[in-house]
Structure 1
Amino acid sequence: MKKKYDYLIVGAGLFGSIFAYEANKQGKKCLVIDRRSHIGGNVYCENVEGINVHKYGAHIFHTSNKFIWEYINCFAEFNRYTNSPVANYKGEIFNLPFNMNTFNKLWGVITPEEAQSKINEQKERAGILDPKNLEEQAISLVGIDIYNKLIKGYTEKQWGRNANELPAFIIKRIPVRFTYDNNYFNDKYQGIPEGGYNKIIEKMLEGIEKRLNIDFFSERNSLEDEAEKIVFTGMIDEYYNYKFGKLQYRSLKFENEIININNYQGNAVVNYTDRETPFTRIIEHKHFEFGTQEKTVITREYSSEWTAGNEPYYPVNDEKNNKLYTKYKELSENESNVIFGGRLANYKYYDMHQVIAEALTVVTKELNILLKDFKKATTNN
């Protein structure tokens, strides 16, 4: 007997919403569920004092892929926001990413040649030829001063471990630019959806049945009986009842405050890079959309170990966890009626444009949609 739905989509975040939207366009009947009280997953925005507060941390869309940019712009118009975070080290302010403005503040250098010479001098003094951990990798890339002021404390708070205990690969792509350019991303397209990310997800899921405050695992048997296939975007180890053990994640805690002034810190994101400050950064949400409200909303962000009941945000992709994930992945590849997708199901940190590319790849394969632009989008993400 044919089941009520073609697809049960577990998770109303970006991946699940794109899959549901594209499947619905092909005439497939979908049910989207989420254990939260809202759709949108981690891109959900909460309106506070007329300000779109990024409830689960700052989300800044960026991509160099024209198709992905045009695809997401079908659901909302984006503003011209450019990500230019700053770092606060014990009251000293530095520009990020590391660029000529940073080097000038640190050392008083003016030219790229002077900055490069200063970094090379510190790298030589450190004498690290074969970096064995994050600390050694960072020093071998940018020298001692930048490491001590702008990397060490922030990274140790972010991961809850000493930098010399973290794998080197975490920081191998650290951005260093010898131009006076504070644009964090080099991507061609960048911005924030006007009116917040909720508009995008709401449009994607328009006309599709949704059930919120539903825990898939509490109602697993009955839910599985309702659909021909499952699209699962949760933790892959939880799906298999932690058969091989639990994967490790980092979690985040957010402390929001409404302040009766119109501008608290003058920037959307300020990273606190000393070890003593307990939070990693402060987000002032109104600056994402050039807000002019009389009040402002800030969020202090704290990093912590993930424990059951908390939200998992960042996979800990060290050798031990990656080996464990491989075991779960092998199980998932034998599933004929379950599609795994997204950050938690693939145990991989994705930016939003990468989630879109992955979702379109899965959609193309699953629904046999022969769209040349889909292929283009997923080969340059």
Structure 2
Amino acid sequence: HKYGAHLFHTSNRRVWDYVNRFTSFTDYVHRVYATHDGEVYPLPINLGTVNQFFRAHYTPAEAKALIAEQAGELAGTDPQNLNDKGISLIGRPLYEAFIKNYTGKQWQTDPKDLPAGIINRLPVRFNYDNRYFMDTWEGLPVDGYTAWMERMIDDPRIHVTLETDFFDESQPYNKAALAAAGVPVVYTGPVDRYFDYSLGELKWRTVDFKEVRYDEGDHFGCPVMNFSDADVPYTRAIEFKNFNPERADRQNPDRTVVWEEYSRFAERGDEPYYPINTESDKALYARYEELAKAEPRTVFGGRLGTYKYYDMHNVIDTALTAYEQQVEPLLKK
């Protein structure tokens, strides 16, 4: 988890069968909690969250009616941004408690300036099910992600070269040399970098981590704790040992390690995590897409190459499809 919390989940049989060629998975089920105004609540927003927040004991039907009433202030409108979409889904009180400030910290952007679609990643449930994902399969690789990746490239036909800059013409495997040789390339780096930022730079979010050690066996009691209030500078904290309760006998019972996660705009040289996806960014990416069409032997993929947010199972599925539809035909030429 060098890059934060990454949980594998999918309902796609093709993806599940593919990844199980390289790793088995634990039976971990992801659950997230949020601290707001001195209290801890279950996420995603569910009946337990609603009843705790409003100090009530609503039935599912009553909770639906309450939220519909609170969301009614925007009735008849088509939400054009995250702020309005959040209010339209769960009403202003819950939105402002759990989503507004968290999202503002995460994106360093006023939610009114963020696309409405971002909020779709936080479902609302009118039951007490607080599983974060609802997919058929879920878990963590038993031996970790590194072992998984090592098995994927453990083939005599695969040669891995590290510390190689694709754009440095002094390197043997560089963009110009491969293009001159007509070698098919699957490029998963930043699409704007591929074209030397000729049309401008696409904007990204990145994440910084601060490690905190506690002289106690368990600090949060869960793997991920969100912090929904604006006065806490980080978005969430990750307590690693709680991802792997099956390893409890190998963990220090008196100490724990927590990473606080801080979100900010990415600069050149940073690790880009999340595309900003403002309307201007979408328009800029569309122009880069047109340039990419003039590179018939280069396949652009991944978050960076397509300027899209992908979960792991999504990007694996798109990679398998890209191989079948784009890469394999190139290899046959």
Q: TM-score, normalised by structure 2?
A: 0.90
Answer with 310-319 or 172-181: which moved more.
172-181
Aligned pair partner of 2:320 in 345, 360, 372: 360
How far the C-alpha of 1:174 sits from its partner, in A, is: 3.6
Q: What residue is the counterpart of 1:373 in the other structure?
A: none
Is 2:292 the partner of 1:339?
no
Equivalent position of 2:103 in the other structure: 155
1:280 partnered with 2:231: no
Alpha-carbon separation, structure 2, partners of 1:344 and 1:235:
4
Change (3 A) 1:263 1:172: closer
The percent identity for this pair of structures is 43
The 5 Å alignment of 1:271-350 reads 271-290=226-245, 291-292=247-248, 293-294=251-252, 295-350=255-310
In the TM superposition, residue 221 of structure 1 has moved relative to its aligned partner by 6.4
Moved more, 332-341 or 240-249: 332-341
Amino acid at match of 1:109: H
User: Aligned partner of 1:298: which letter?
Assistant: V
Choose which of 3, 9, 20 in structure 2 pairs with 1:73. Answer: 20
Amino acid at match of 2:89: L
Query: Deviations for 1:66-112, whole angstroms, at most 9, x for unmatched residues?
Result: 22112111111101111110011132111111111111111212310
* 2:167 equivalent in structure 1: 217
The yes-or-no answer on 1:263 pairing with 2:226 is no
For residues 254-275 of structure 1, the C-alpha deviation after alignment (integer angstroms, 9 at most, x for no partner) is 1123333221111011110111
> Does the Cα contact within 8 Å between 1:250 and 1:306 map onto a contact in 2?
yes
Per the alignment, residue 192 of structure 2 pairs with 237
Partner Cα distance (1:220, 1:73) in 2 = 39
The CA distance in 2 between the partners of 1:329 and 1:204, in whole Å, is 29
- Is the Cα contact below 8 Å between 1:77 and 1:193 reproduced in 2? yes
Structure 2: gaps of 5 or more residues: none
Distance in 2 separating the partners of 1:172 and 1:201 = 30
Shift, 1:151, TM fit: 0.5
Q: Which amino acid aligns with 2:168?
A: S
TM-aligned CA distance change 1:336 to 1:274, over 3 Å: same
Q: Which runs of 5+ in 1 are unaligned?
A: 1-53, 370-381
Instruction: Evaluate the alpha carbon distance shift between residue 282 and residue 128 of structure 1 in structure 2; reply closer, same or farther with a 3 A threshold.
Output: farther
Structure 2 CA distance for aligned equivalents of residues 179 and 73 of structure 1: 32
Deviation (angstroms), 1:173? 5.3
Equivalent pair of 1:128/1:136 in contact (CA under 8 Å): no
Whole-Å separation in 2 of the counterparts to 1:210 and 1:173: 35
1:78/1:192 contact within 8 Å kept: yes
Indicate conservation of the 8 Å contact 2:107/2:205, yes or no: yes
The letter for the 2-side match of 1:212 is L
Aligned counterparts of 1:173 and 1:88: Cα–Cα separation in 2: 19
SS in 1 for 2:263: strand
Question: 1:300 and 1:128 mapped to 2: Cα distance?
Answer: 40
Native 8 Å contact 1:194 1:289 kept in 2: no
**What are the within-5 Å matches in structure 2 for residues 175-254 of structure 1?**
175-207=123-155, 208-219=158-169, 222-224=172-174, 225=177, 228-254=183-209
CA contact (8 A) 2:206 2:263 kept: yes
Contact 1:271 1:280 in 2 (8 A): yes
1:276 is aligned with what amino acid? D
* Cα distance in 2 for residues equivalent to 1:198 and 1:349: 22
Q: CA deviation at 1:128?
A: 6.8
Q: After superposition, what is the alpha-carbon deviation per residue over 1:196-244, rounded to whole angstroms, capped at 9, x for unaligned?
A: 1111100011143222222222347642336722221100000100010
- Select the structure that is richer in strand: 1
**Residue pair 2:115, 2:277 contacting (<8 A) in 1 also:** no
Root mean square deviation, CA, Å: 1.8
Residue type of the alignment partner of 1:176? V
Match of 2:40 in 1: 93
Q: Which residue of 2 aligns with 1:5?
A: none
CA distance, structure 2, for counterparts of residue 363 and residue 125 of structure 1 = 47
Paired residues for 1:362-381 under 5 Å = 362-365=322-325, 366-368=327-329
Q: Does 1:141 align with 2:89?
A: yes
**Alpha-carbon distance in 2 for matches of 1:222, 1:230:** 14
CA contact under 8 A between 2:188 and 2:300: conserved in structure 1? yes
Greater RCO, CA 8 A, separation 6+: 1
Maintained 8 Å contact 2:214/2:257? yes
> Stretches of 4+ moved more than 6 A in 1?
none
8 A Cα contact 2:164 2:171, kept in partner: no
d(CA) in 1 for partners of 2:75, 2:230 = 25
